[in-house]
Amino acid sequence: MALNICFYFQVHQPWRLRTYRYEAVGHRHDYFDDAENSAILRRVAEKCYLPMNTLLGELIAEFSPQVRMSFSISATALEQMRAYAPHALASFRRLVATGCVELLAETSHHSLAGLYSQAEFTAQVARHRDVCTRLLGAPGPVFRNTELITTDAIAARVAALGFRYICVEGADRLLQGESVLRPQPLAAAPGLLALARHYALSDDIAFRFSDRHWREWPLTAERYVSWLQGVAASAPNESMLGLFMDYETFGEHQWADTGIFAFMRALPRAALATGNLRFATLSEAGQRVAASNTPLTIPTPVSWADTERDTSAWTGNRIQQSAQAAAYALEPYVKRAAAGGREGAQLLEDWRRLLTSDHVYYMSTKHWADGDVHKYFSHYESPYDAYIGYMNVLADMARRCGAPERTLGETAG
């Protein structure tokens, strides 16, 4: 039977903070390091976005309409591309214009609002749709939350917003024996279907590809396709395989000299030659593949991060919990002040940039199996430096929006 291969790529860049000391509170509101953000965005564009977009465009032209894929691109990434690398944004527009790329919906600022504020979550989904539609194209019926963080409550909210599908991590504790190869109904969200990531085959590309100690190194497209055929043979009916990964896998995390671009160039031809493998967007696969009859429940958060596949990467220690509590405690004050015209609009945007999950990710103190991953992504000397700078910015934000002085202290205790 046919196996629908669903590549989904996440594109995201945060607005990183400049060094912001307590002495600046009440005096400076320029929180974000424009030079650093510009340099990183341009570097990633040159190493990943531009060459990979060119590669995918060539594959689409060669095999159209058989090569198809899905993207989610945060509003923070889109707006940085518009500011710092408009040629990269134009290359994404060309991909979307082929008709072979589906855009997914998400929160505008790659935030954890789904865990903390239903109102802000809803507002950010709307904000993302607006930015994405203006700069790139309209998202479709598939939603992916930040880092695939999903709970029953988040799923119910996503369903209420009118989405048909939600991306989830294919964690064993979530599926509990149900197949990762077909859509799954959700007990808390009738009408919404979960499309799961096959974490092993996804991570073979995203993490293990360049590992010379991996027994499968070097991985060829032909060998990988043989694994895909094995998956197809195990499915009694038409099925789907979710290969979800950061787009920066290509050229940034896995450098060009690892052979990652050559691997992806060879993959479509090898897959399509089998006759039983085909490429599909997530919504296409959701429509083609029969769903399970067993609803899933998600009482505690599931994500695609780290070996635990929970939210400990962002909320696993006291400083992370304190930072998030303090940030969301400012919500009513920020939104009240935001009604005051242009200055209020900038205040709201600054606050939302502070909600981006990367800021608390930098505060992670996990130093076991995934510790090096956290260090790789952080530009701080330590998690505590990240926390101190972040809380200084929140202190200034509190003054700007008129929040009582006790607001941050109460949440940080």
Structure tokens at 326: 């303090």
Lowest mean pLDDT of 18-22, 50-54, 343-347, 409-413, name the range.
409-413
At residue 378 the predicted structure's pLDDT band, cuts being 50, 70 and 90, is low
At residue 372 the predicted structure's pLDDT band, cuts being 50, 70 and 90, is low
E strand or H helix that includes residue 369:
none
> Tell me, what's the pLDDT at 208?
97
Render pLDDT for 334-364 as a digit per residue (tens, 0 to 9).
Answer: 999 998 777 889 999 999 999 999 999 999 9
Render pLDDT for 138-180 as a digit per residue (tens, 0 to 9).
Answer: 999 999 999 999 999 999 999 999 999 999 999 999 998 899 9
95 pLDDT above the threshold of 70: yes
Residues 320-329, mean pLDDT to the nearest whole number? 97
Residues 75-83, mean pLDDT to the nearest whole number? 98
* Residues paired with 245 in a beta bridge: 9
> Tell me, what's the pLDDT at 1?
79
At residue 367 the predicted structure's pLDDT band, cuts being 50, 70 and 90, is low
Lowest mean pLDDT of 134-143, 255-264, 368-377, 386-395, name the range.
368-377
Residues 106-113, mean pLDDT to the nearest whole number? 98
The DSSP line for 100-136 is: -EEEPB--TT-B-HHHH-HHHHHHHHHHHHHHHHHHT
DSSP letter assigned to residue 292: P
Cα separation, 123 vs 113, in Å, equals 10
pTM recorded for the entire structure: 0.94
- Of the candidates 272, 209, 282, the residue with the CA atom closest to the CA atom of residue 242: 282
Q: Are 143 and 163 in contact (CB under 8 A)?
A: yes
The DSSP line for 76-104 is: HHHHHHHHH-HHHHHHHHHHHHTT-EEEP
> Tell me, what's the pLDDT at 377?
53
Residue identified by tokens 């076991």 is 368
> Tell me, what's the pLDDT at 413?
38
> Tell me, what's the pLDDT at 381?
79
Of the candidates 102, 106, 120, 147, the residue annotated as catalytic is 147
> Tell me, what's the pLDDT at 371?
44
> Tell me, what's the pLDDT at 332?
96
User: In the chain, what are the helix, strand and coil shares in percent, each to the nearest 5?
Assistant: 50, 15, 35
User: Can 343 be counted among the known catalytic residues?
Assistant: no
> Tell me, what's the pLDDT at 139?
98
Q: Are 231 and 221 in contact (CB under 8 A)?
A: no
- Of the candidates 386, 379, 384, the residue with the CA atom closest to the CA atom of residue 43: 379
Render pLDDT for 387-398 as a digit per residue (tens, 0 to 9).
Answer: 999 999 999 999
At residue 374 the predicted structure's pLDDT band, cuts being 50, 70 and 90, is very low
> Tell me, what's the pLDDT at 171?
94
411 pLDDT above the threshold of 60: no
Residues 305-319, mean pLDDT to the nearest whole number? 93
Structure tokens at 385: 């430096």
Cα separation, 384 vs 386, in Å, equals 5
Residues 92-107, mean pLDDT to the nearest whole number? 98
Cα separation, 84 vs 49, in Å, equals 13
281 pLDDT above the threshold of 80: yes
373 pLDDT above the threshold of 80: no
Quote the mean pLDDT of the chain: 94
Structure tokens at 317: 């220690």
At residue 412 the predicted structure's pLDDT band, cuts being 50, 70 and 90, is very low
112 pLDDT above the threshold of 50: yes
255 pLDDT above the threshold of 80: yes
